[in-house]
Chain A
């Protein structure tokens, strides 16, 4: 359900950029997806295949670069990766933790003809 509207946005953004560049066909779309977004590849591929029919993006391959969750201790100022649901600083054991990475959701670039 969630992915349907995400894919609509991906497609709109891709078509807009392709049109600006006078591209005739979109071959590939390189997506950057943070783990916090919960965006599922299979669901995106499914909806993309369906929604891109009859557009210049039909048949385009979506490539995914996943960004893991990254956290920062507000007290120690150290960075550490998200593991399970553990929001505790590995250095001071404190829980004053800021999410600094993993919420990305953007098109890095795309391959067009």
Chain B
């Protein structure tokens, strides 16, 4: 049997990208804004999303797609705020993909939804490689994690539209340099916005809320 070489030159994640584009089109046809929130574990994704829901729930219909390695309290925390939460259990997988998001979107009434947050798996490594069909990527980095993370996990920060520096209420106790940090981000990704915030005290959240509001208008 002769062996022949087939030229392929196709991206491994191409099929995911196509599904992501379909998700985005689906959302656009229903006038829904979807924001993908990524960070490491423990940086405050649930707290920030919960605070954001409290800000917008009187005026907008909100849903949250929860990615968790195992079922957790996160969906319960969010449901207590009268927002629809869809729990995706990846059974140990380290990232979400566009197909999983599509299943979640199919479970939602998109005509009755204005804003969707995806709470991605807590992981700075590979979640950013998978386009989910969201309109914007928000990356959270918390003060205790350190200001060296953008150079350790650059892909995550290159894919970010917004970087939320969370837990600024504990800044005095850590070596995180908040003065030079925005320059580190803009060096890698000039179009990303950087908002220092505290989900606990509410400090700085107004800029994040305005940023979302501009995209809902």
Binding site for B on A (CB under 8 A): 1-2, 4-6, 9-10, 12-14, 17-18, 21, 23-25, 27, 31, 36-38, 74, 85-87, 94-99, 103, 105-113
The stretch among B5-13, B50-58, B200-208 that forms the contact with chain A is B5-13
**B42 in the interface, Cβ–Cβ < 8 Å?**
no
CB distance A1 to B12 under 8 Å?
A: no
Main secondary structure of the interface of A (DSSP, over half): mixed
Instruction: Give Cα A26–Cα B13 distance, bound, in whole angstroms.
Output: 20
Instruction: Give Cα A17–Cα B12 distance, bound, in whole angstroms.
Output: 13
Give, as a whole number of angstroms, the nearest-CB distance from A62 to chain B: 12
Give, as a whole number of angstroms, the nearest-CB distance from A112 to chain B: 6
CB distance A85 to B151 under 8 Å?
A: yes
Known A13-B15, A38-B126, A87-B151; contact A106-B1, beta-carbon cutoff 8 A = no
Instruction: Give Cα A37–Cα B130 distance, bound, in whole angstroms.
Output: 11
Give, as a whole number of angstroms, the nearest-CB distance from B145 to chain A: 15
CB distance A106 to B9 under 8 Å?
A: yes
Top 8 A-B residue pairs of the complex, sorted by shortest distance between their CB atoms: A95-B187, A107-B8, A113-B1, A85-B151, A1-B94, A106-B11, A96-B187, A105-B12
CB distance B187 to A13 under 8 Å?
A: no
Instruction: Give Cα A113–Cα B8 distance, bound, in whole angstroms.
Output: 15
Residues of B within 8 A of A85 (CB): 148, 151-152
**B190 in the interface, Cβ–Cβ < 8 Å?**
yes
Give, as a whole number of angstroms, the nearest-CB distance from B93 to chain A: 6
Residue in A94, A97, A106 whose beta carbon sits within 8 Å of that of B12 in the complex: A106
Instruction: Give Cα A98–Cα B157 distance, bound, in whole angstroms.
Output: 11
**B84 in the interface, Cβ–Cβ < 8 Å?**
no
Residue in B9, B11, B14, B125 whose beta carbon sits within 8 Å of that of A38 in the complex: B125
Give, as a whole number of angstroms, the nearest-CB distance from A108 to chain B: 6
CB distance A10 to B12 under 8 Å?
A: yes
Instruction: Give Cα A37–Cα B10 distance, bound, in whole angstroms.
Output: 16
CB distance B11 to A105 under 8 Å?
A: yes
Known A37-B129, A96-B187, A97-B187; contact A17-B8, beta-carbon cutoff 8 A = yes
